[in-house]
Every structure is written in structure tokens, then in C-alpha cells.
Amino acid sequence: MTSGGRQQTIINSLCNIKLRHIILSVLGSFILYSSRVAQHTNKINKNNMMKMGSSFTSVASTAFNMPKIGLGTLGLDPTEAKTTINEALSLGYRLFDCAPVYFNEMNIGDAFHEATTGVPRGDVFITSKLAGTFHRAEHVEPALRKTLNDLRLGYLDLFLVHWPVAFKYVDFDPSIRGWDNEDIDDSEGGKNIDPTVSLRDTWHAMESLVDKGLVKHIGVANFPVMLLHDMLSYSRIPPAVNQVEIHPYNQQPKLLEYCKSRNITVQAYSPLGTPGFKESDEPRILSDPVLNEMARSKGITVAQLCLQWSLQRGCSVIAKSSNIQHLEENLLVNHKNEFVSGAVQLSSDEMDKIAALDRGYRFFRPEEWWPENPVPVFH
């Protein structure tokens, strides 16, 4: 081999060595980067599996995936909140319906924060509502932030306008959790109704909450068709939900049909007819002979029958109970909060029989709460 040939061989060998070093260096950097990504991912996954309270300030996403059966908290004794929330989470409840005028959000927030079930925040759907005293646009966000503070949350999955009637503003200290009194729910027989507040202004303030990531979705409660129809004419973000009183004695088929045609989910509250709140002379749905006979023939309770009826009509439902047996029975209708084709189904004939029970009877009649300034919301 000539001197020039040996020199070229040495050069080629050195080039190959240098190339190998470069390749190894690049591979080493890639492996180190992949390892760090994997460690970071594992850390995120571990954090997400921490108990609920530890991950309750997660950033809101925009997907609408509301469970079909939820636990209502109206009338939930603050002293029972921790036990009831833990039992509900353990059984599989993933939707919780709250409101400041239930005067237990602080206790519910503590229950969520101290929950021992290991359910991550992202798996739970939490709703609260805007009280009538905070309808004026500048009061909407402070009211929400008060609720978030009480519930110890970073965001809500759904925020509803509780009633389509505004009341005079009641001041509060945003730094204090809970409420010292029930002034925000005191209408003084209707004297505190404020007719100068526009629902349009309230709704635009609600929309800004979505823009800021404070809530995932917004909706309404107790809205009749014409108020919904008007709202759709000016809303930039249409209501995702209309939560209304629906049970076999108050079926609201026209409202249900309208909402379905506008892609508004109807959520039924008091699906069993408020057995714990009704007056003694009011009808008792759970004692209805037609419903009892039908439930016996299917081997289920009347409560389960009513919930299944609502689900088959396309509604989601909010049922309240602190009794663990009732909590479990209610959820068994919709196993794991997903519609199961193999579950007990009502035939078209059975649905027709229940339809015939409709009386248009409401257990919640706001015009009777406000006799000094009656606002017949549903008439």
C-alpha cells in the first residue's frame, strides 16, 4: 500500500470513529430525554390518581360528558356531607349537583377534599348554580368564585342560572367560606325581586366564565320554552343543560321535545316527586298504584322505575338521598353511570301507561313563594 493509500485509510478510520461518537452521543441524548419524559409522565399519572382533594384545581377542558345519574344535595345535612359523599363516590356516583342556596357547599367541599376513595377530579362532574341575588353582570364572577372557594375547587363542570328571576344584591365577604345567614335566599315574599336585571346581561357574564376557564359548561334551570327560545337568539355559548322538575306527575313533553331539537340536555330534578319536602296534602308519587304494580311486575322499586322512565325519555336525573341503600338502588338502574341495554327496560305500552299519569303537577311553585310580587315562571 502506498503512503497515500495508508493515509487515506487512516483518515477513513478516524472519520468512522468520529461518526460513531456522534451517533452514540445523539442516541444517548435521546435515551436520556425519553427517560425524563417517562418519569414526568409517570409523575403526572401518579398525581392524577391521588385522592380527589389533592387534584381539584385541574384546568378545565371543554368536552361535555355528563353522567346520566347524579346525587342531589338539596336538604343534605351538613353534618352528613362527609359520610354521604364518600359513600356515593364508593358506589360509583360521579355527578354531584350543588347550589349556594342549599347552604352546605362548604361542607361538601370539605368532604370532596378529604375523600378517601382515590377518585381523580377529572372523573367527577360537579354542578353548582347562580343564586338570584347575583344575576347582575358584575356580580356573576364573584358569586362563582365564592362557590369555588366553598367547594374547594379550581373549576366547575357546569354552572347553571338557578332561576330566571333576579333578586336584589346581597353583599358577602369572598374571603370567608360558607354563609353566616340565609339572606341570599330570602325573597321577602317577592319584595326583593329586581325587575331591572336583564337575563341577557346575566348570560353574557356566564359566557365569560367559560372564556376564563372557570367553568367548563353553562346552562339554566327552571327555564320554560320561550325563555330558552329567546336566549338562543343572543347567546354566543348556548345553554348545555336545562335542569327542570320532571317526574310522572309533571312530564313536560313539549319542553323535552324542544330541548332535544336544540341539543339542550334536559336534566330532571325531583324525579321521585320530592318525598322529603312535599306537604302532607300533596300527592305521593312513590305510592301511585299504577307505578307500584308496574314496579312489582319487573322486580324493581318504584324509585328505580321512575328513574328508568326518565332515562328512557332521554333525560339525565338528579336523585337525592343520604341513605346508603337508596343510593345504591338508584345507581343500579344505570350501572356504572352508563346506559346499559341489558338493564330493566320499559316497553312502549308501559311508557304509555306512565304518560297517562301526567297531571302537570309541580311540587316547586315559585309564584307561591313570592305572593307580594308574584312571578308565574311556568305560566
Q: Which residues are catalytic?
A: 102
Looking at 99-175, which runs of residues are DSSP E strands? 125-130, 156-161
List the grid coordinates of 371: 305572593
Asked if 270 contacts 313 with a C-beta cutoff of 8 angstroms, the reply is: no
DSSP classification of residue 367: H
Q: Rounded distance, CA 104 to CA 276, Å? A: 17
CA 166 to chain centre: 22
List the grid coordinates of 101: 342556596
SS3 of residue 247 by DSSP: strand
Asked if 192 contacts 186 with a C-beta cutoff of 8 angstroms, the reply is: yes
Q: Report how far apart, in Å, the C-alpha atoms of 317 and of each of 116, 194, 247 are.
A: 26, 31, 10
Helix/strand/coil (H, E, C) string of 248-309? CCECCHHHHHHHHHCCCEEEEECCCCCCCCCCCCCCCHHHCHHHHHHHHHHCCCHHHHHHHH
Question: Phi then psi for 235, rounded to 5 degrees?
Answer: -80, 135
**Of 245, 238, 242, residue with least CA distance to 259:** 242
Separation of first and last alpha carbons in the chain: 107
Question: Phi then psi for 155, rounded to 5 degrees?
Answer: -160, 165
For residue 78, give the H/E element and its range: none
Asked if 358 contacts 250 with a C-beta cutoff of 8 angstroms, the reply is: yes
Question: Phi then psi for 58, rounded to 5 degrees?
Answer: -60, 155
